[in-house]
Amino acid sequence: MNISHPKRLRGAIVSILVSTLAGGLIHSAAFAQTPAPTGVRGTIVSASGDNLVVKTNRGVEQTIKLDKDTRVAAISIARIEDIKPGSYIGTAGIPQPDGSQKALEVHVFPPAMAGTGDGHRPFDLAPNSTMTNGTVGDVVASNGRTLTLKYKGGEKKIVVPEDVPIVNIEAGDRSLLVVGAKVVARSRKNPDGSLTAVSVSAGKNGVTPPM
């Protein structure tokens, strides 16, 4: 096409810019619409090759695929005394009127996993729940056990009731994924409607992952 004429040149440039902008918007929209992984919580009733069948806490059996990128974590019992200033933890919670978070569960990461999921975001453990991962600042063991949790871009005060489960989370492997194990599988939905686990948290010695 001959674009030596100024008007033709301007028209060609505008066409290219519009096409580029439209393509960018389509790509951005597709990226923004990528859903967060969904938590499948329950007990493994079948484990065969790269497939798990989990009987969910709602009583429904759900098949979940594993792939080479699926991460496995081991969950064991911890205590509030295990949490010190500088510990890296995660906690699902419910926002309170004063801006604090009332913990539904707390999981303690080993030092090698510090930085995992850093930040504060919506979560699917309960209606209106959030997940906050960060570094512990102050720890107050009295008055309902309160932690200051700092993450990139902010911090939250976390109130941990006495009856809230506290667990350790550490790197695991597929040997944990056996019939009877309690698991939380963070899973993405595939185009055909099936689920593939991004990560699986599996309880050790009968522990139920609370997250």
How do residues 15-51 score in pLDDT, each as one tens digit? 333 333 334 333 333 334 456 788 999 999 999 999 9
**197 strand-pairing partners:** 187
Q: How far apart are CA 92 and CA 210, in angstroms?
A: 9
How do residues 54-78 score in pLDDT, each as one tens digit? 999 999 999 999 999 999 999 999 9
Dihedral sign, Cα of residue 194, residue 197, residue 201, residue 202:
positive
- Give the side-chain half-sphere CA count within 13 A for 111: 3
Size of the chain in residues: 211
Contact predicate 55/43, CB 8 Å: yes
The percent of residues in the chain predicted with pLDDT above 90, rounded, is: 76
The DSSP letter of residue 103 is E
